[in-house]
Amino acid sequence: MTTRWDALRARWPRSNGHWSLRPRATRRPAPATVIYRWDLDKTYLKSDFESLRKMMRVPFERARDKIDEPGVVALIRALKASALREQRTAFVYFISASPPQIGRAIREKLALDGIEFDGILFKDQLQHLVRGRFRLLREQVGFKLAELLRARLSAPAGAVEFLFGDDWESDPIIYSLYADVIAGRLEHDALADILVRLRIDPARLVEIKALSQKIAPADAVRRIFINLERRTPPDRFRSFGARLVPTFNYFQTALVLYEEGVVPLAAIVDVGRSLLERSAYSAARLRNSLDDLARRGYVAPAAAVALRAELEEAGVLPSTGVLGLWPRQLWRRWRRRRQRARAPMAPAIAAAAIEYPRLIDAWVASGSRLGGEPS
């Protein structure tokens, strides 16, 4: 028989032998098999394509010249390590529209960073050049979508996917389309219409349609993370739905992945520490990042409260320093926390079908290039 005492104990868990006044946050259970698909430039690497001169320099860069995005190395290492620790299967793949000629430097860079990966795919630009298919040199939506679908065909059944891209090119559209195609949410005619709007090469269009027909429908993509490298206003991604999470740094990404149950708290701490030690972040910047994510609704209020406390204890976030506050303020703070903790968990944005035609038109009109530089 459950006593009132047991109920109280369940509500207020013990932490380090002391009674904690923090309510337990609910996380999603971790899937058994997870695939993490990463874009390379501007997502993993801080590639500089701002000028033609800088772009031309990229193929000649050595591994040690390449700079990774702050926190990304710690996060990818944590993805693999946590799966290993919890006896789950995790695959890390990279996909890039850059030519395979830079592959050696990239592989060396990944080795230098201590990243274990299961595959890396480049776009064979030379083949297009030899065949005179110049239009395909700059096209990346069709290339990435086709390759993602091909990769899905060989993925283990039931594998859940997390996709990582950036706000420079067309990653939000490519990843969202991919997620909806493998979930069986897009009819073949609708898909064809979208691909035409995206000005995909006819041969590639046929290939994508054929691949999509072969895939057994499964709602496998849980989250699409877009690294806001260009600081694109998050509002612009609202029409992609709650599945797509625009994040300003990899600390925010780690927080959402923790909520998804695929990394432990230690992973957030690792990413936070890497930002503090390697990228001159301050604890206050990390706290602001967590608060921003909570305000945008990607971390539930109760979870944000619990996370803040845990990360303060780990020394990643600055201590709130409650000592010295007036009792009345303390009481207000306590009451506010309880109210937040009682609030039901809700998704940030109501899940709704994406209106691709409207979205693509708006995306093109707003100046986002579909195709263009390699990503």
Partner 1 sequence: MPVIAVDAMGGDFAPDEVVKGVARASLGTAIECVLVGDEPRIQKILESVSYNPEHISIRHAAEFVEMHEPPKEALRAKRDASIVVGAKLVAEGHAQALVSAGNTGACILACARHFRTIKGIRKTALASVYPRQTEYPGQDQLALLLDVGATIRCDALDLAQFAVMGSAYARRVSKVERPRVGLLNMGAEPFKGGDVLTEAYQRLSALPGIDFVGNIEGNDVAKGRADVIVCEGYVGNVVLKLIEGIAEVVTDVASNAVKRRFMWRLGMMLLARGIREVAHLADYTKYGGAPLLGFEHLFLKAHGRSTARAIENAVKVAAKAVRDGVPQEIAAGIEAVR
CA distances from 216 to 144, 211, 231 (A): 19, 10, 36
Strands of the chain, DSSP E: 14-15, 18-19, 33-39, 89-95, 119-121, 160-166, 221-227, 244-247
d(CA 221, CA 204): 23
- The yes or no reply on residue 281 touching partner 1 (CB under 8 A) is yes
d(CA 75, CA 252): 11
Considering only 61, 108, 232, 309, the residue that binds partner 1 (CB under 8 A) is: 232
241-280 footprint of partner 1 as x/- string (CB under 8 A): -------xx-------------------------------
d(CA 238, CA 257): 19
CB of 135 to partner 1, least distance (A): 32
Residue range at the interface with partner 1 (CB under 8 A); choices 24-32, 95-103, 229-237, 352-360 = 229-237
Q: Please, which residue, 170 or 289, has the CB nearer to partner 1?
A: 289
d(CA 280, CA 372): 33
d(CA 308, CA 134): 51
CB of 230 to partner 1, least distance (A): 8
Size of interface with partner 1, in residues (CB under 8 A) = 19
Q: Please, which residue, 324 or 344, has the CB nearer to partner 1?
A: 324
178-217 footprint of partner 1 as x/- string (CB under 8 A): ----------------------------------------
CB of 69 to partner 1, least distance (A): 14
Q: Please, which residue, 133 or 285, has the CB nearer to partner 1?
A: 285
Residue range at the interface with partner 1 (CB under 8 A); choices 119-127, 130-138, 225-233, 348-356 = 225-233
What phi, psi does 93 have (nearest 5°)?
-120, 150
Give the burial string for 81-100 (b: 16+ CB within 10 Å, else e). Answer: bbbeeeeeebbbbbbbbbbb
CB of 71 to partner 1, least distance (A): 12
d(CA 17, CA 2): 22
Given a contact cutoff of 8 angstroms between Cβ atoms, the answer to whether 208 and 148 are in contact is no
CB of 324 to partner 1, least distance (A): 9
Q: Please, which residue, 190 or 284, has the CB nearer to partner 1?
A: 284
Dig out the tokens for 18 from the structure: 């002391």
- The yes or no reply on residue 285 touching partner 1 (CB under 8 A) is yes
Report CA Rg, the chain: 22
* Binding residues among 287-316 for partner 1 as defined by CB under 8 A: 287-289, 291-292, 295-296
Considering only 81, 108, 209, 234, the residue that binds partner 1 (CB under 8 A) is: 234
d(CA 87, CA 32): 8
Q: Which residues bind partner 1 (CB under 8 A)?
A: 231-235, 248-249, 281-282, 284-289, 291-292, 295-296
